[in-house]
Structure 1
Amino acid sequence: MTARTILLTGATSGIGRALALEFAGPGVHLLLVGRDRARLDAIAGECRMRGAATEAGRIDVRDRDGLAAWIAERDAATPIDLAVACAGIVSGTGPDRALDSGEAMRAVLAVDLVGVLNTVEPVLAAMRPRGRGHVALIGSLAGLRGFPSSPAYSMAKAAVHAYAEGIRPALRREGIAVSLVAPGFVRTPLNERLRAPRPLEMSATAAARIIRRGLDRRKAVIAFPFILYAGLRLLTLMPAGIADRFLDRPGVDVPETAERERIEP
């Protein structure tokens, strides 16, 4: 991989943290964004140990102005080549919660959808005048079809998918690549309390390697595992009633997020 500057949000946990370590190496400049200062300092230190120049910003992706200012300042010093919008939260339903609460639903949208926009917009403002760059949006296989266990999460990820697909052609004409990443089940702290079948679950490290290979090739869509991706695509072609019965698992419990739409003081 040639030397480049990479922005990663959600860098303190899960896929974001694994991607930071995957990209870290001599000649790489990492811009890491996260909310937990201790974990942010820890991952930044690990990346420096691997030879990467690293800057860490303790910023919530819901903070539109703060994130935009931080990105603009770093890009002015070292132009960003690749930005990965990875920050996200999960929330869902359970045996005693048939639907997402309104607060939980709005929190998921604020982080998983609006947080992506808050990341991508200032990055594109810098990349477009240069006529080069690469942005990657982390979606999910849950974005292919609404999951009864996580309707708000599915909604947010489906919107991320549509946004990536919508901006990709115009940005390609300007020299900027757009990659949509749609992973299946990945072992992360977000999922550790989830009570549900997790077919073909993989580690965050393994997922990061797959994503890295796809990003290095500037692939438009990086969806994995392929068998789950293909199965869900097939499911979208089935009558809705059949697909609903296939996905409906009353015993599944996806804990409700404690996050809220607005940043807590």
Structure 2
Amino acid sequence: MTAPRSLLITGATGAIGGALARHYAAPGVRLILHGRRRARLEALADACRQTGAEVETTDVDLTDDASLTEWLDRLALPDVVIANAGQNTHAEPGQEMEDWPATSRLLAINLRTPIAMAERLAPRMAERGHGQIVFMSSLAAWHGLPLTPSYSASKAGIKAYGEALRGWLAPRGVGVTVVMPGYVSSPMCDAMPGPKPWEIDAPRAARRIARGIERNRARISFPFPLNLGCWSLAILPAGLSQRLLGLMGYGRSS
């Protein structure tokens, strides 16, 4: 794949999204950056413009179907779409289950929104004959973590969707990549319960992701030791995997 000249990145005010924007920012590159925190988004856009990129910003509500559709339909179609916006949630101490309104919002942004984006943009890419859609999953998609069941479910769902869509769109010249990072330093990562082995910083994660996108990789999963461990949980008997997760500090205390 040739170097992309235009990219759409949602969740650009987060750690990975911002690092990706900075990585790609260069003369001749057009960036469409989405983020909920307007001041941080504009600061990021200014930094990218200083390195020569052309930048457009938006804080459109990605979970509102009408707003999302209107925005996507009037976009000049990018070469690469990185559906990076996401949230996490978990049960607070003393609660039996995760808060349902928070879970509903998480499923909307982590799973429903990227699927909706693909539904609007993939046909245009296919008609053009090239393009790439990048979905942000997680190593938690290999086997659900007891401390974050809804988050794990959303990331497993987008992993499965991206894998299926890749096979569907490949004959039309459109690539699909699923990104499965481990723990990347960020406020979102800090808020997640449980151990965080092999945590890496956002710029390093962005470089790994960009290399995989350039090669149209089906899956970008890292870091290797944690990826191997999470993958192993997926192929072991489920009961054994659950016991191992408890021993590693990911189980629920009574």
**Counterpart in the other structure of 2:143:** 145
Q: Which has the higher contact order (CA 8 A, sep 6+)?
A: 1
1:111-142 CA-to-partner distances (Å, cap 9, x unmatched) read 10012123222221321211110000000001
Secondary structure of residue in 1 paired with 2:75: helix
**Counterpart in the other structure of 1:208:** 206
Q: 1: CA distance between counterparts of 2:25 and 2:198?
A: 27
Q: Percent identity?
A: 38
**Counterpart in the other structure of 1:132:** 130
TM-score (norm 1): 0.89
Q: CA offset at residue 109 of structure 1?
A: 0.4
**Counterpart in the other structure of 1:241:** 239
Unpaired stretches in structure 2, ≥5 consecutive residues: none
Q: How is 1:144-183 mapped onto 2 (pairs within 5 angstroms)?
A: 144-183=142-181
**Counterpart in the other structure of 1:28:** 29
Unpaired stretches in structure 1, ≥5 consecutive residues: 255-265
Give the conservation status (yes or no) of the 8 Å contact 1:95–1:253. Answer: no
Q: Tell me whether 1:105 sits opposite 2:106 in the alignment.
A: no
Q: 2: CA distance between counterparts of 1:88 and 1:249?
A: 28
TM-score (norm 2): 0.93
Residues 3 and 172 of structure 1: CA distance in aligned 2, closer, same or farther (over 3 Å): closer
**Counterpart in the other structure of 1:46:** 47
Q: 2: CA distance between counterparts of 1:47 and 1:219?
A: 26
Q: Tell me whether 1:80 sits opposite 2:81 in the alignment.
A: no
Q: 1: CA distance between counterparts of 2:27 and 2:245?
A: 45
Give the conservation status (yes or no) of the 8 Å contact 1:91–1:152. Answer: yes
Q: 2: CA distance between counterparts of 1:170 and 1:251?
A: 39
**Pairwise CA RMSD:** 1.9
Q: 2: CA distance between counterparts of 1:104 and 1:87?
A: 15
Q: CA offset at residue 252 of structure 1?
A: 6.1
Q: Which amino acid aligns with 1:113?
A: L
**Counterpart in the other structure of 1:8:** 9
Q: CA offset at residue 60 of structure 1?
A: 2.1
Residues 6 and 100 of structure 1: CA distance in aligned 2, closer, same or farther (over 3 Å): same
Q: 2: CA distance between counterparts of 1:242 and 1:95?
A: 26
Q: 2: CA distance between counterparts of 1:240 and 1:195?
A: 21
Give the conservation status (yes or no) of the 8 Å contact 1:113–1:160. Answer: yes
Residues 229 and 3 of structure 1: CA distance in aligned 2, closer, same or farther (over 3 Å): closer
Q: 1: CA distance between counterparts of 2:128 and 2:46?
A: 31
Q: Which amino acid aligns with 1:49?
A: Q
Q: CA offset at residue 161 of structure 1?
A: 0.5
**Counterpart in the other structure of 1:56:** 57
Q: May I ask how many residue pairs the two structures share in their alignment?
A: 251
Q: 1: CA distance between counterparts of 2:185 and 2:251?
A: 16
Q: 1: CA distance between counterparts of 2:24 and 2:227?
A: 25
Q: CA offset at residue 100 of structure 1?
A: 1.4
Q: 2: CA distance between counterparts of 1:232 and 1:194?
A: 17
